[in-house]
Structure 1
Amino acid sequence: MSDAAKLRGLRVLVVEDEMMVSMLIEDMLGDLGCSVVGPASRLDEALELANAGGIDCAVLDVNLGGQPIFPLADLLREHGRPFAFATGYGDAGLRDVDKGTPVLQKPFREGDLARVLEELHAKVA
Structure 2
Amino acid sequence: MTAHPVLVVEDEFLIALDIMSALEQAGIAVAGPASTVRDALAAIESQPLRGVLLDAHLAGEPAGRIADALQARGIPFAFVSGYGRESLPPEHRGAPLVRKPFTDRDLLAAIAGF
TM-score tier by shorter-chain length is over 0.9
Letter in 1 for 2:14: M
Unaligned runs of 5+ in 1: 1-7
User: What is the match of residue 20 of structure 2?
Assistant: 26
Q: Residues 41-100 of structure 1, C-alpha deviation per residue, up to 9 Å, x if partnerless?
A: 111111000011221100000111111111010000000001000000121212332122
Runs of 4+ in 1 over 4 A off after TM superposition: none
Aligned to 2:9: 15
Q: Which moved more, 1:68-77 or 1:88-97?
A: 88-97
Separation of aligned partners in 2, 1:19 and 1:44: 16
Unmatched 5+ residue regions in structure 2? none
Q: 1:43 aligns with which of 37, 46, 54?
A: 37
Quote the residue 1:81 is aligned against: 75
Correspondence for 1:91? 85
- Larger proportion of helix: 1
Is the 8 Å Cα contact of residues 86 and 93 (structure 2) preserved in structure 1? no
Residue of structure 2 in register with 1:3 after alignment: none
1:115 and 2:106 correspond: no
The answer as to whether partners of 1:11 and 1:35 remain within 8 angstroms in 2 is yes
Tell me if the contact between 2:62 and 2:89 (Cα under 8 Å) persists in the aligned partners. Answer: no
| Structure 1 residue 10 displacement after superposition | 5.0
Partner of 1:60: 54
* Seq. identity, %: 36
DSSP 3-state at the match of 1:46: helix
The TM-score with structure 1 as length reference comes to: 0.85
Work out the number of aligned pairs and report it: 113
User: Does the aligned pair in 2 maintain the 1:90–1:104 contact within 8 Å?
Assistant: no
2:96 to 88, 96, 102: 102
